[in-house]
Amino acid sequence: MSEEETPTPGSRPEPGSRDPDGLLARAGARGDPDRDQHFLVDDRVLDRLPGYAREADADLSHVLEVGAGTGALTDRLLAAADRVTAVERDPDLAAFLREEFAAEVEAGVLTVIEGDALDVDLPEFSASVSNLPYGASSEIAFRLLPRGRPMVLMFQREFAERMAADPGTDDYGRLSVTAGHYAGVAVVETVPPEAFSPPPAVESAVVRTTPRDPAYDAPDDDFLMRFLRAVFTQRRKTMRNAVRNTAHISGLGDPDAVVAAADGDLMGRRAGDVTPAEFAELARLAHEVAGTRCRVWPSSAASTWCTTPQRTPSCSPTPSSRASRRATCCSTSARGRATSRGGLARRGSRSSGRT
């Protein structure tokens, strides 16, 4: 269908046949880099995206698309999937999608959700194929990854390469370990700026994620992710110093105990050279031998530190416990005791840092 063509009432273009430039023209959309709007208009790239999911034998019974824009990718997905849910935060574009794809909406094969993908309730889905808005791509990806579904996602190329990087490479970091915890990650295509309207300032890349269980045992995800965030803030230091220096981020009550119990060779390396399995083992060890720090209510100068190993890493007290001045995660058993900040937190050593 050309730019000049407008669907006549009652007509229904074949799924996959809509022209991306024609969709832009009918929507009256020009794209706005300041609003993170770069519409994918290259037919060849659009045609390949659903294929990357099929190559991985992804279940396409219900595909989630985040950042549907004017519907160029939506159109391709309707040709490949049994059902599509498209999320679009721009109210005008969401209204356009409902009008442009009115027949598909009426037939129950397309649902348009208007709102921010970080805020709306997402449905159950079998796979996701999306051209993500750059500014929120990381947050959206890590909202989707724990759902354990195969995905084909468009990112900035630099972000994509860091996501798929191997240990010991310049691009390897917290993003690589975190993404790999949930899925196998591969960059399957780089996309030039000219494939978009308006063209972004950087190249893009398509990433395919294949959900998998990690090949290692780890403490719960919240603690592992907090531990990774902590040590990678000091990636140029040895793990020994990184663990000690970032207890205020990881929440470890006794980082010295972790250093003492861990493998010496591992603690002498830098975070960029530690494998995901080694990170998981170290996090498990830290979870067992060191306590977690807890802030108490009411909001006074005092804080409470828990020196007993905690199986529940979230130390936020419930509202009903505020009057008790002790967070619900703290323990006063014989194995450890809680003291106010500035007091003795463990074996006569002074606690340091804040949560």
Dump pLDDT digits (tens) for 119-175. 999 999 999 999 999 889 999 999 999 999 999 999 999 999 999 999 999 999 999
Q: How confident is the model at residue 330 (pLDDT cuts 50, 70, 90)?
A: very low
206 and 225 together in one domain: no
331 CB-near residues (< 8 Å, 6+ apart) = 306, 308, 310, 338
Domain boundary among 211, 235, 258: 211
Q: Are 16 and 79 in contact (CB under 8 A)?
A: yes
Among the listed ranges 49-58, 155-164, 283-292, 316-325, which one has the minimum average pLDDT value? 316-325
Are 201 and 296 part of one and the same domain? no
The pLDDT, as a whole number, for residue 276 is 95
Establish if 125 belongs to a structural domain: yes
Which residue, of 182, 211, 240, is where some domain finishes?
A: 211
pLDDT at residue 304 above 90? Answer: no
Q: Are residues 235 and 140 part of one domain?
A: no
Instruction: Return the percentage of the chain with pLDDT > 90, whole number.
Output: 70
Distance separating alpha carbons of residues 110 and 180, to the nearest angstrom: 31
Q: 298 vs 176, which has greater pLDDT? A: 176
Q: Is 347 left (phi over 0), alpha (psi -120 to 50) or beta?
A: left
Distance between first and last Cα of the chain: 58
For residue 308, the enclosing domain spans 221-350
Q: How many domains does the chain have?
A: 2
Chain segment 239-277, per-residue pLDDT in tens: 999 999 999 999 998 999 999 999 999 999 999 999 999
Same domain, yes or no: 207 and 225 = no
Could you tell me the two tokens for 318? 């419930």
Examine the domain organization and report whether 141 and 191 are in the same domain: yes
276 domain residue, yes or no: yes
- Predicted structure pTM score: 0.78
Instruction: Tell me the pLDDT band of 104, cut-offs 50, 70 and 90.
Output: very high
DSSP 8-state symbol, 317? P
CA distance 293 to 345: 10
Is the model's pLDDT at 302 over the cut of 70? no
